[in-house]
Amino acid sequence: MHSRPLLLTALALAAAFTASADVTLPHILADHMVVQRNLPVHIWGKASPDEAITVTFRGASQSTKADALGRWSVSLAPGDAGGPFPLTIKANNTIAFNDVLVGDVWVASGQSNMEFKLRQADNAAAEIAAAKYPKIRRMLTDNKVADYPMEDVTGQPWTDINPDNAAGASAVAYFFARHLQEKEGGVPIGIIESFWGGTPIDAWISLHGIAADPALMPIFSERAKVEEAWPIAQATYEKQLADWNLASAAAKAGGATVPPQPANPTTRPGGPYVPAGLYNAKIAPLTPFPIKGAIWYQGETNANTNANGASLYARAFEAMIRDWRRAWGEGDFPFLYV
């Protein structure tokens, strides 16, 4: 006697599972972005399995179907610098961008040297007021760590450089982009800011990239030492902090100088110091997006924490460059560093 309601419920569930879902894109594909000139324009995302998708850009279209997992990808023909152009992705729903530029795209990465903001630079007020570059675009990735390579990364979306937002831009990346655009005759420049202050190079290399060089095995042994020492280090810090709170309160009550606060151990397990953790979260999701090259400013953290010294850093740096070039699959793109 209950078969009819059960049948109706089953049919409703079946309809829900077979209905087309809206096509979605990774966060790096958005209005105001810059796509790399003279390389295929790669657009990808997710939809319902077998859903038809058509992408149109600069008057050309490419169509495909999502695979059994709902993933899809198309590459449109390379083109010269220019824009803005509209870009449309049509499936069960339609996504339309109206301000896409074609130019040179650079990934700006490293630690706080690259993170250093324009508002902190010399003559910052004048530089920010003069920062009127509608064809220099930037996006910023959120600080996240992952145990495996991610497919997407969130962050501040693509925007042009103007006096209202330039203060928060990476100073190094901004001056690099401005200089490059002047030298390249006004070619649009896109900067993907993906950095994290105080982080070691180990975190920016994939596990594959580290494992490819046996000389880098000390990275894992050093990490093992950190993880084994962490419980005592954390307990010691908590006691130091409790003692400091008491001493600080007494100093304030007596009008004396407050003692410096103890430093929190920053190499805790699971943080942004784990080998490959930042590559997985902040670089891997960018690799399907064609680029011109990368700029890098980092090293001090390894100098302070790496017991194996500069020789291991040199090997790790070479491994990272090889690793990124392998991941993007564009050959030996320029990799500029301080």
pLDDT digits (tens, 9 = 90+) for 253-288: 999 999 999 887 766 667 898 999 999 999 999 999
In whole numbers, what is the pLDDT of the chain averaged over residues?
91
Say how far apart CA 110 and CA 317 lie, in whole Å. Answer: 11
Helix axes 218-254, 309-328, angle to 10 degrees: 110
SS3 category, 322: helix
- What pLDDT is recorded for position 308? 63
Binning pLDDT at 50, 70 and 90, where does residue 15 land?
very low
From start to end of 20-143, where are the E strands?
A: 34-36, 41-46, 52-57, 60-65, 71-76, 82-90, 94-110, 133-141
What is the pLDDT averaged over residues 290-299? Answer: 97
Beta carbons of 248 and 269 less than 8 angstroms apart:
no
Q: What is the pLDDT of residue 18?
A: 43
**Could you tell me what percentage of the chain is helix, strand and coil, using 3-state DSSP and rounding each to the nearest 5?**
40, 25, 35
In three-state secondary structure terms, 88 is: strand
Calpha distance 65→82 (Å, rounded): 29
pLDDT over 60 (residue 320): yes
Question: Of 301, 278, 114, 82, nearest to 191 (Cα)?
Answer: 114
Per DSSP, what are the bridge partners of residue 117? Answer: 170
Residue-wise pLDDT for 24-44, tens only, equals 999 999 999 999 999 999 999
pTM recorded for the entire structure? 0.87
Enumerate helices (H) and strands (E) in the chain, giving the number of each.
9, 12
Q: In order of start, what are the domains of the chain with their CATH numbers? A: 34-204+277-337 (3.40.50)
- For 198-235, write each residue's pLDDT tens digit: 999 999 999 999 999 999 999 988 888 878 888 888 89
Mention every residue, 6+ apart, whose C-beta is less than 8 A from residue 70: 21, 46, 47, 48, 49, 51
Residue 12 has pLDDT above 60, yes or no: no
